[in-house]
Structures are given as structure tokens and as C-alpha cells.
Amino acid sequence: MSIIKNYLKQNKVTHTFSDCQWPIGDPQEKDFHFCEAETLTGKPYCKEHCDVAYIDERELKKEKEAQKNRRIAA
Ligand SMILES: [Zn+2]
């Protein structure tokens, strides 16, 4: 165990995933796989799939911005 810890320290491994963990296809099917594109820093997904995964968050932000702009305009 300590060997692994030292290895991680030496190689500065800060996160487990370097490939996009977005599932593609049906887990029941044989051709099921992960996207495996390069991930964004600190995210388990690539840019494309971050857009999909965090779309709710972004829509919420957009809605807030829209409300702010409305207030300024009024
Ligand atoms: Zn992806």
C-alpha cells in the first residue's frame, strides 16, 4: 500500500480518471463503452459530455442572469 502511495506522490497523480467516464450505449449490450476522450481538468468527463452533464447547472445560471438583466432593464 505504501508503495502505491509513494508512486502517486512521485508522479503527482491527483485524480483517478484521465479518460471521459461518460457511458455510451446500453450497459446490457456488448458494444457498451465509455467515451474515453480527454477529460477537462477536475472533471470526470470530456468537454462535450461536461456540456451535457452540467446543462441543468448552466440553464439555472442563464435563468438567473436573465432575471438580473430584466431587473436592470426595468
Ligand atoms: Zn466524453
Give the model confidence (pLDDT) of 8-54 as tens digits: 566 665 555 689 999 999 989 999 999 999 999 888 899 999 998 88
Domain carrying residue 32:
12-73
Q: 13 — phi, psi (to 5°)?
A: -80, 115
Residue 11 confidence (pLDDT): 63
Please report whether residue 24 resides in a domain.
yes
Please report whether residue 1 resides in a domain.
no
Please report whether residue 2 resides in a domain.
no
- Rounded to the nearest whole angstrom, what is the distance from the C-alpha of residue 60 to the centroid of ligand 1? 22
Which residues are in the CB-under-5-Å shell of ion ligand 1? 20, 22, 35, 37, 46, 49
Please report whether residue 52 resides in a domain.
yes
Please report whether residue 66 resides in a domain.
yes
User: Rounded to whole angstroms, how far apart are CA atoms 13 and 25?
Assistant: 29
Please report whether residue 3 resides in a domain.
no
- Rounded to the nearest whole angstrom, what is the distance from the C-alpha of residue 47 to the centroid of ligand 1? 7
The total number of structural domains that make up the chain: 1
